[in-house]
């Protein structure tokens, strides 16, 4: 799947799931996620795209036996996408940390740290992270994981309040 296809599939899922689930987050959040998906879709450039893992969260990370400081990712989704995509998965993780203070300030701080550490622009990381957190929150709700879903959607609602 390309980055453009991934962005379109996320937007389609977000719009459909949001309606089917009774609008569990703000309309502003859904509109922003879809706008960001459109931006990321149009930004897809096969000349600079990479083969990315697609889902590098903590549960898809294993310690290399006998080498406790080396890790390997498992269970890849495999995407042909911009470099910022895999970093966006870190934006959807560790929600309790973000809710421990101002989710927008802490989320932006995390995004800027990822950008600084990797040399990748922060806007694509933020936009993909926003899309991922919205989509993941709705998916968690579909799966009946209400506490995690509400945490994720509360964070993304706070993020959506930022003037863009």
Q: pLDDT by residue (tens digit) across 123-149?
A: 999 999 999 999 999 999 999 999 999
Q: Quickly count: other Cβ atoms within 10 Å of residue 146's Cβ.
A: 11
Q: Which of 10-24, 67-81, 84-98 has the highest mean pLDDT?
A: 10-24
pLDDT value of residue 61 = 59
Whether the predicted pLDDT of 47 surpasses 80: yes
Domain covering 3-160 assigned CATH 2.60.120 in the classification? no
- As a whole number of angstroms, the distance between CA 56 and CA 21 comes to 27
pLDDT value of residue 104 = 95
Range with lowest mean pLDDT among 3-17, 41-55, 123-137: 41-55
pLDDT value of residue 62 = 60
Domain ranges of the chain: 3-160
In terms of pTM, does the model score above 0.75? Answer: yes
Average the pLDDT over 44-72 and give the result.
70
- As a whole number of angstroms, the distance between CA 71 and CA 81 comes to 22
pLDDT value of residue 59 = 58
Distance of CA 96 to CAs 15, 19, 22, 33, 123, Å? 26, 26, 24, 21, 23
Q: What is the mean pLDDT of the chain?
A: 88
State the DSSP code for 73.
Answer: E
C-alpha closest to that of 162 among 28, 38, 40, 37: 28
Q: Which residues fall within 8 angstroms of residue 30, CB to CB, at 6 or more apart?
A: 14, 15, 18, 134
């Amino acid at each position: 799947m390309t980055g453009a296809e991934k962005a379109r599939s996320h937007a389609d899922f977000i719009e459909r799931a949001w309606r089917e689930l009774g609008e569990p987050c703000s309309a502003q959040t859904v509109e922003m996620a879809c706008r960001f998906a459109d931006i990321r879709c149009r930004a897809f450039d096969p000349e600079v795209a990479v083969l990315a893992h697609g889902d590098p969260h903590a549960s898809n990370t294993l310690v290399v036996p006998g080498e406790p400081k080396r890790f390997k990712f498992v269970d890849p989704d495999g995407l042909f996408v911009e470099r910022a995509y895999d970093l966006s998965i870190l934006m959807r993780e560790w929600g309790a940390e973000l809710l421990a203070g101002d989710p927008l300030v802490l989320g932006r701080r995390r995004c800027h740290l990822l950008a600084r550490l990797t040399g990748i622009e922060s806007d694509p990381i933020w936009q993909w992270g926003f899309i991922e957190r919205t989509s993941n929150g709705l998916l968690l709700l579909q799966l009946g994981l209400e506490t995690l879903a509400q945490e994720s959607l509360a964070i993304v609602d706070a993020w959506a309040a930022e003037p863009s």
